[in-house]
Amino acid sequence: MHLGHDLDEKFPHRHTYSAPATERPDGTRRALRIGLGGPVGSGKTATVAALCRTLRTEVSIAVVTNDIYTREDADFLLREAILPPERIKAVETGACPHTAIRDDISANLEAVEDLEESIGSLDLILVESGGDNLTATFSKGLVDNQIFIIDVAGGDDIPRKGGPGVTTADLLVVNKTDLAPYVGSDVDAMAHDARTQRGDLPVAFTSLKDEGGVKPVADWVRERLADWSAGPA
Amino acid sequence: MTPDTAPAPPAGRSTGAVGVRATARVTAAARAGATVLPVLDGDGPFEFRRLRSRDTEARVCVVGAMSAPLGGDRLRIEATALQGASLHITSAAATLALRGPTTAHATYDVHLTVADHAEIRWLPKPLISAAGSNLRQAWTIDLAPTARLVLREEQVLGRMGEPPGHVATRLTVRRGGHVLLDQEAEYGPGAPGWDTPAVLGHHRATGQILLIEPDFDESPLEPQVLIETPDDAQAVLTPLAGPAALITAIAPDGFRLRRILNAAYATSADTSNRARQ
Amino acid sequence: MNRAALLVLADGRFPAGGHAHSGGAEPAVAVGRIRDAESLEDFCRGRLHTAGLVAAALAAAAAAGHDPLALDTAADTRTPVAALRDTARKLGRQMMRAARATWPSAELDALAAARPRGAHQPVVLGVAARSAGLEPLDAAYAALYETVSGPATATVRLLSLDPFDATAVLARLVPELDRVAATATATARRVAEEGVDVLPAASAPLLDISAQQHATRPARLFAS
């Protein structure tokens, strides 16, 4: 990322300890790291699972989960046999996922590096946050891009209310659009509010229940991967 | 045994108390497929009785000859298993630490030396720390790289219905000259934090079984926790950073402590047998 | 001497992973051994004089420049429970990452290279304190404060304990913390003459048993 290179130019001999470093110790380009955050129940784990299913034949993927209370998210991914166990690592967060993804990223960085080291040639690492509040965002020291996932059932006023996740995430996903008629949410109003809050930043509407429902997110990830591998190594 | 003047008694006391200084020694050696005891020297409160051998193992029972340890006593047992020997030591009765004529502390040290391909099984009855007693116990254990050890130590803090005495122990185990385990414990009046929910809580009995077995290098025991809710007792079996495992248990009293230690030991035997199969 | 660096190092927000650990408070809360401010204080006092004393002496010895690898082995021999050794190394690795970014030094680099999976946290803490220009006593304080502040913070979350009460517990422990810090530092000073065997090795059966039990719990808020 550009931030990393700015730093590298200013401090050419200084070892960097977090995401801005874009190279592995052996000089090859490290995996792209994408964070997925959002409120409880919005479909983060389901999105991670769907992304893994869609992309696993194209790229080498691993997942880091940040569970709140259990290893359930990691166990879900294991149970669904979406990825082999050695590609999933669970980070414990002491009841505060936002601390582990933003304020003290040391455990997540360790998990990411352990995966790179043990798997070898990873292209993509998805870092999933446990469900948290609307202000929870990923540190730039941990991920290169972040996706914020909300759903129509959580209230159609969430985009209007804004907050760092909604306004600054590289991609905002509004999930469960199939439920909108049942919960009385106005998807068009959500799209309008999101545009107002986010300017040119993209918004994707998904219904993971549908065949290929994750496609808009997967396409966006493919673009990020293309940019990443085209970037200066 | 030599009478010895105890360290200066605290101000306000002029008992001129006399403590006992004694060192008992036992040495086991392998001879013609069995273990013999070329040294078996009781001293002071320690008398040794030979028990019938079992297989290649020589068995010795420590029998108390007098009430000990009392404040001011300096007691020591040294047991050595020479190369290939197998020595089993028990005791006839619990060791009762008493206050004695002075509040000065007593010492009761145990030094075990186990040579290559030798084994010591040290399985005495518990130490009871009676009200007003003050004991310091040092265990120093030196093992050769292929030596084996089973060591059980149990502490009961106070006799039935009385407050505990003060007891401080340090256990240092070396294997091939390197420290394998170093552990201190201090319980009873004056020991900071001993009865808090981080250390013993309301439990008044604690004990350990240390297992050192070269085979554990290849197949270490798996950690295990035992909680006996009806007995209000709990134990953990954990592999050390080396070919050894330690069982640590706490219970309300010595009876329930022994019960959970036995249960934990049985699990360890199961798992290590499985590992060897 | 950069005394203010101690505030940075001992700050609960220092990004070295401590927030995900309860220092044994979560299993103690689970069975009712910690249920209010009073029992939290008792718990912290017990931890201060056992695990805290050992950690503080290791940290002070490392801060004095004694061989961190010998101290790391000494920490292993003083930590019989496998789950606690794992936790100490994990936190040591996280502390190493934070320390190398904040106070880079050749000594930290050397220890990181020798223990890539992490040295025991108090040892890394001591070397970090040294790199920050702090004294052995400062390192002992940082280790001890963490010993009691971790459980106090966790108990606020676990029991919804009044945060003012929890902080008052820490304040009441200050005189004892001072004494233990002095003892730990004095003992660490003897390492030069007598070697690492002189360091304290105080044990706590309940901390040991519940740490291993907690490590296998399927549902928990804190890693330890």
pLDDT tens by residue, A22-60: 887 777 889 999 999 999 889 999 999 999 999 999 999
Domain-embedded: residue B254: no
Domain-embedded: residue B185: yes
pLDDT of residue B272: 63
Instruction: Please determine, for residue C103, whether its predicted confidence score (pLDDT) is greater than 60.
Output: yes
pLDDT of residue A21: 74
pLDDT of residue B224: 95
Q: Which residues contact C193 (CB under 8 A, 6 or more apart)?
A: none
Domain-embedded: residue C113: yes
B109-168 pLDDT tens trace: 999 999 999 999 999 999 999 999 999 999 999 999 999 999 999 999 999 989 999 999
Tell me if chain C has a CB within 8 Å of the CB of A28: no
Tell me if chain C has a CB within 8 Å of the CB of B180: yes
Tell me if chain C has a CB within 8 Å of the CB of A96: yes
pLDDT of residue A5: 43
* Count of CB atoms situated within 10 Å of the CB of C28: 30
- According to DSSP, the residues that pair with B5 across neighbouring strands are B18
Instruction: Provide the residue-wise pLDDT of chain B in tens; the chain has 277 residues.
Output: 444 544 443 333 233 457 899 999 999 999 999 999 999 999 999 999 999 999 899 999 999 888 889 999 999 999 999 999 999 999 999 999 999 888 899 999 999 999 999 999 999 999 999 999 999 999 999 999 999 999 999 999 999 989 999 999 999 999 999 999 999 999 999 999 999 999 999 999 999 999 999 999 999 999 999 999 999 999 999 999 999 999 999 999 999 999 999 999 998 877 665 544 4
Residue C157 distance to chain A (closest CA, Å): 8
SS3 B242: coil
Q: Do residue B183 and residue C34 have CB atoms under 8 angstroms apart?
A: no
pLDDT of residue A232: 66
Which letter does DSSP use for residue A103 in this model? I
Q: Do residue A18 and residue C101 have CB atoms under 8 angstroms apart?
A: yes
Find out whether A159 and A38 touch, Cβ atoms under 8 Å.
no
Domain-embedded: residue A213: yes
Contacts of B235 in chain C (CB under 8 A): 209
Contacts of B193 in chain C (CB under 8 A): 42, 45-50
Task: Take residue B154 and report the two structure tokens written for it.
Answer: 């149990």
Give the C-alpha distances (Å, rounded to integers) separating B89 from A130, B21, B120, B141: 56, 22, 8, 15
User: By mean pLDDT, which of B63-67, C137-141, C208-212 is the weakest?
Assistant: B63-67
pLDDT of residue B67: 87
A86-119 pLDDT tens trace: 999 999 888 888 899 999 999 999 999 999 999 9
* Count of CB atoms situated within 10 Å of the CB of C164: 10
Task: Take residue A110 and report the two structure tokens written for it.
Answer: 């360790």
Tell me if chain C has a CB within 8 Å of the CB of A99: yes
Task: Take residue A58 and report the two structure tokens written for it.
Answer: 């194209």
Query: Closest by alpha carbon to A103, among A124, A125, A129, A126?
Result: A129
Half-sphere exposure of B10 (CA within 13 A, CB side): 6
Domain-embedded: residue A16: no
Binding residues of A for GTP: 38-45
Tell me if chain C has a CB within 8 Å of the CB of A71: yes
pLDDT of residue B258: 97
Query: From A95, which residue of chain C is nearest by alpha-carbon distance?
Result: C221
Q: Do residue A110 and residue C97 have CB atoms under 8 angstroms apart?
A: yes
For C27, the domain range is 19-215
**Encoded amino acid at B144, one letter:** A
pLDDT of residue B176: 96
Instruction: Please determine, for residue A7, whether its predicted confidence score (pLDDT) is greater than 70.
Output: no
**Helix/strand number for chain C, H first, E second:** 13, 0
Helix-helix angle C205-215:C37-47, to 10 degrees: 100
The rounded distance, in Å, linking the Cα atoms of B123 and B151 is 6
Q: Do residue A103 and residue C21 have CB atoms under 8 angstroms apart?
A: no
Tell me if chain C has a CB within 8 Å of the CB of B146: no
Contacts of B185 in chain C (CB under 8 A): 202-203, 205
Total number of domains in chain A: 1
For B54, the domain range is 19-201
Chains C and B are touching, with contact defined as 3 or more CB–CB pairs separated by less than 8 Å: yes
Domain-embedded: residue A1: no
Please give the full DSSP string across B122-186, using - where no structure is assigned.
Answer: E--PPEEE-TT-EEEEEEEEEE-TT-EEEEEEEEEESSTTS---EEEEEEEEEETTEEEEEEEEE
pLDDT of residue B88: 98
- According to DSSP, the residues that pair with B207 across neighbouring strands are B154, B249
pLDDT of residue A25: 73
Tell me if chain C has a CB within 8 Å of the CB of A207: no
Tell me if chain B has a CB within 8 Å of the CB of C214: no
Total number of domains in chain C: 1
Residue A102 distance to chain C (closest CA, Å): 10
Residue C176 distance to chain A (closest CA, Å): 27
How far apart are the two ends of chain C, measured CA to CA in Å?
34
What CATH number is given to the structural domain containing A206?
Answer: 3.40.50.300
Q: Which residues contact A78 (CB under 8 A, 6 or more apart)?
A: A85, A88
The rounded distance, in Å, linking the Cα atoms of A111 and B101 is 62
Contacts of C209 in chain B (CB under 8 A): 225, 234-236, 248-250
Instruction: Please determine, for residue A16, whether its predicted confidence score (pLDDT) is greater than 50.
Output: no
Exposure class string for C197-209: b at 16+ Cβ within 10 A, else e: ebbbbbbbbbbbb
Q: Kindly report the pTM of this predicted structure.
A: 0.90
- According to DSSP, the residues that pair with B184 across neighbouring strands are B170, C202
Which letter does DSSP use for residue C118 in this model? -
Residue bearing tokens 């309940």: C206
Total number of domains in chain B: 1
Instruction: Please determine, for residue A3, whether its predicted confidence score (pLDDT) is greater than 60.
Output: no
Which of B:93-132 have CB within 8 Å of C? none
**Encoded amino acid at B170, one letter:** R
Tell me if chain A has a CB within 8 Å of the CB of C94: yes
Residue C135 distance to chain B (closest CA, Å): 26
CA angle B47, B51, B57 (to 5 degrees): 115
**A and C: number of Cβ contacts within 8 A:** 65
pLDDT band at A12 (very low <50, low <70, confident <90, very high): very low
The rounded distance, in Å, linking the Cα atoms of C24 and B139 is 28
SS3 C104: coil
Q: Do residue C13 and residue A103 have CB atoms under 8 angstroms apart?
A: yes
Q: Which residues contact B39 (CB under 8 A, 6 or more apart)?
A: B25, B26, B27, B80
pLDDT band at C1 (very low <50, low <70, confident <90, very high): low
Comparing CB atoms, the residue among A18, A70, A92 nearest residue C20 is A92
Domain-embedded: residue A64: yes
Task: Take residue B244 and report the two structure tokens written for it.
Answer: 């050894």
For A172, the domain range is 31-230
Domain-embedded: residue B53: yes
Instruction: Please determine, for residue A188, whether its predicted confidence score (pLDDT) is greater than 60.
Output: yes
Q: Do residue C45 and residue B184 have CB atoms under 8 angstroms apart?
A: no
The rounded distance, in Å, linking the Cα atoms of A219 and A223 is 6
Domain-embedded: residue C1: no
Which of C:155-214 have CB within 8 Å of A? 157
Percent of chain C at pLDDT above 70? 100
